[in-house]
Structure 1
Amino acid sequence: MVVSRKQELPIINIYIKGTRLKQKDQFKYLRSLISSDGRNNSEVASRIAQAKTNFQKMKTVLTNKNISIRTRRRALECYIEPILMYGCEAWTISKQTQRKLEATEMWFLRRMLRISWTAKKTNDTVLEEAHTTRLLISKIRKRQATFFGHVMRREKLENLVTTGMLEGKRSRGKQREKLIEGLTDWLKAGKSLEAIEATKDRKKWRAMIANAVKQGT
């Protein structure tokens, strides 16, 4: 596989004992989908599909009105959300990705409450009936921040991959958002370098994460 921003990927020829290896656009590694464009759109879409499939398998429990909505939400958190958020520590969450994840969160709640799309109830009304607020993005960001702090303190290869700079000129057009930029914005840490510096103090970093979660951003 060649990972590149170019629309036309370079063709590579790798042979093992005279047999040419097939060049792939994507493949699964440790159950996460790796794409040649370097984005995680396909992986997020795959996670959403898997989570919805498993939700349907537990439909008799998750939509059972004889069970309190609090208990059903707890079951959702234990059995469905881990499938959805697997590997999310490495996701770069664009606005489009965030909208898809938030839509999935509401998809779960509407089906748990058996609210048809024809009912034309707003998301705020659904959240009120479910006795909850939007939590999914905050949970993902918290996991990302916790993992990011661990990587920064280790100062190993993962640190270099996350913070390193590539040589050469930037490509034209809007630049892709980096993981650290999204986290910095969520934590309201000012600049990326300030966020990296803050990870060295465990207590300070945990306090920043807790404050961001409390703000519900």
Structure 2
Amino acid sequence: MKSAETEVMVVSRKQELPIINIYIKGTRLKQKDQFKYLGPLISSDGRNNSEVASRIAQAKTNFQKMKTVLTNKNISIRTRRRALECYIEPILMYGCEAWTISKQTQKKLEATEMWFLRRMLRISWTAKKTNDTILEEAHTTRLLISKIRKRQATFFGHVMRREKLENLVTTVMLEGKRSRGKQREKLIEGLADWLKAGKSLEAIEATKDRKKWRTMIANAVKQGT
């Protein structure tokens, strides 16, 4: 192991991160507050805000690279939306299976979805057209959050049925007291709400029946966000 290529990070809910001193052959390893691992950006606060912001920025950058195609009015809007789904959305949604989608995160993702459509239709913000009008002109509805939730639910069901380490990490009950203030939303809580599955434990139980779980996902997609 080369110490120059090795870094460490503490994941904690505390505002002031603990300072750790880990040495390899007398050299102290550099402590980071975030780093990329296999693509996604992992932050020391355990949240995915930075990763979502990074994904949005990357998606917009790649949209600009394909601007001549995606904003070409000689190509039907349906074909351009299909190109967006094939080339831009995978960049935006990479690793979304592990995202916890708070209300703030959802607003950012929905704003990004509308950012794409407005530019594809070449409609400026000064035109004062509502989002509903934009969706009507693009012959579509809000789909991004449902796509993300569908991917999350499909992956979550697979993890729960597999009953391996990922299952244990997700379902384990830790001892100790809850911290003060509002508790962080958990991925399973957001999924249970989207699926209309009741409480988290009920959603986990539902994953055992693959057919039932697929039906629940399909119904949630039909109902939209």
Is the pair's TM-score, using the shorter chain for normalization, greater than 0.5?
Answer: yes
2-structure distance, mates of 1:47, 1:127: 23
1-structure distance, mates of 2:47, 2:224: 26
CA RMSD of the aligned region, Å? 0.5
Structure 1 residue 157 and structure 2 residue 165: aligned?
Answer: yes
What is the match of residue 212 of structure 1? Answer: 220
2:78 to 67, 70, 84: 70
Offset, 1:162: 1.2
Give 5+ residue unaligned stretches, structure 2: 1-8
Structure 1 residue 148 and structure 2 residue 123: aligned?
Answer: no
1-structure distance, mates of 2:128, 2:135: 14
1:173-214 superposed Cα distances (whole Å, 9 cap, x missing partner): 000000000000000001111111110111000000000000
1:39-97 superposed Cα distances (whole Å, 9 cap, x missing partner): 00000000000000000000000000000000000000000000000000000000000
Give 5+ residue unaligned stretches, structure 1: none
1-structure distance, mates of 2:42, 2:148: 19
Offset, 1:164: 1.6
2-structure distance, mates of 1:21, 1:167: 31
2-structure distance, mates of 1:36, 1:154: 28
2-structure distance, mates of 1:60, 1:7: 45
SS at the partner of 1:23? strand
Point out the more displaced range, 12-21 or 144-153.
Answer: 12-21
What is the match of residue 4 of structure 2? Answer: none
1:110-154 superposed Cα distances (whole Å, 9 cap, x missing partner): 000000111000000000000000000000000000000000001
**Which 4+ stretches in 1 moved above 2 angstroms?**
none
Offset, 1:160: 1.1
Offset, 1:166: 2.2
SS at the partner of 2:53? helix
Percent of residue pairs bearing the same amino acid type? 97
Offset, 1:109: 0.0
1-structure distance, mates of 2:171, 2:33: 26
Q: How many residues align?
A: 217
2-structure distance, mates of 1:92, 1:165: 19
Offset, 1:32: 0.4
TM-score of the aligned structures, taking structure 2 as reference length? 0.96
Offset, 1:167: 1.9
1-structure distance, mates of 2:41, 2:172: 23
1-structure distance, mates of 2:76, 2:126: 24
Offset, 1:165: 2.2
Offset, 1:25: 0.2
2-structure distance, mates of 1:18, 1:61: 55
TM-score of the aligned structures, taking structure 1 as reference length? 0.99
2-structure distance, mates of 1:174, 1:165: 19
2-structure distance, mates of 1:56, 1:165: 45
Structure 1 residue 92 and structure 2 residue 134: aligned?
Answer: no
